[in-house]
Amino acid sequence: MTAEARLREQICLLAKSIFDRGLTGGSTGNISARTEDGGLLISPTGSSFGRLDPARLSRFDKAGQWIGGDAPTKEMPLHSAFYDTRSTAGAVVHLHSCHSVALSLIPDANEDDFLPPLTPYGIMKLGRVKLLPFFLPGDPAMAAAVRGLAGKRSAVMLANHGPVVAGKDVEAACNAIEELEDTARLAMMTRGLNPRGLTDAQVQSLVTKFDVEWDV
C-alpha cells in the first residue's frame, strides 16, 4: 500500500470514529491532510464523516489545482487559509460539534481566549482558541479572517457554526479538536457553578513545559 493510500484510509477511519461518537452529524464537517508530494486530500462536498470513501476523496496537487476525486467541500478556502499561514499544518479538521457551538452562543464568550483553562490538555493541544464572528458557510470572508491571524492560532471557533483545528498530521488534528469539544462540554456542564479552573501560574507552567503557543 502506498503512503497516499494509507493516508486515505486513515482520514476515513478517523472521520468515521468522530461521526460514530456524535461529534459531527449528517453531512456536516470536513477534513483534509497534506500528501507526501505537497498536495492535499479533502472530504468531498455534501459527504458524511460516517461514509467517506477513500477512493472518492478530493485530490489537489501542490499548486492547489483539483485533479481527482469528487468535488471538494465548499470550505476548501478555510482549509487553505490554515495551510498557507501555518507551515506546521499537515491536516485541518472542521466539525459542527454540539458543546463547542453552544459555548460560542454565550454572550460573554471570550473572543481572544474562547476556552476556559479547565484542564491541562485543552491548553497543551490547542493553545489559545480564537472565537471568530458568524459567517455564512462557504463565505470567503471566513478564510480571510483566518488569514488575518497570520498563523498565530492553531484553532479557531466559528461562532454559531463549529471549531476548526490545524495539526501536524491528521491524527493530531483530530485529537486536538476532540479536546476542544471536551473542554467546551466541561465549560457548559459547570457554567454557573463557579468551577475551580487552573490558576494563571499553573497555565504558565504548562505553556513553558510543553512549549505551547500562548502569548499571541
Within a domain: residue 214?
no
For 61-105, the pLDDT digits (tens) are 999 999 999 999 999 999 999 999 999 999 999 999 999 999 999
Q: pLDDT at position 1, please?
A: 85
Beta strand 30-34 pairing with 40-42: antiparallel
Catalytic member of 121, 137, 175, 207 = 121
For 99-108, the pLDDT digits (tens) are 999 999 999 9
Query: What's the rounded Cα separation, in Å, for the pair 126 and 182?
Result: 12
Q: Which three cell numbers stand for residue 127?
A: 493553545
* Helix ranges (DSSP H) in the chain: 3-20, 76-85, 98-104, 120-126, 140-147, 170-189, 200-209
144, 148, 150, 156: CA torsion to nearest 10: -80
Res 216 pLDDT > 70: no
Within a domain: residue 195?
yes
Q: What is the pTM of this model?
A: 0.96
83 is catalytic: no
Within a domain: residue 215?
no
For 24-65, the pLDDT digits (tens) are 999 999 999 999 999 999 999 999 999 999 999 999 999 999
Within a domain: residue 216?
no
β-pair partners for 165: 93, 155
What's 199's domain CATH number? 3.40.225.10
pLDDT confidence bin for 163, thresholds 50/70/90: very high
Q: Which helix (H) or strand (E) segment is 51 a member of?
A: none
Q: pLDDT at position 86, please?
A: 96
Residue span of the structural domain in which 37 resides:
3-209
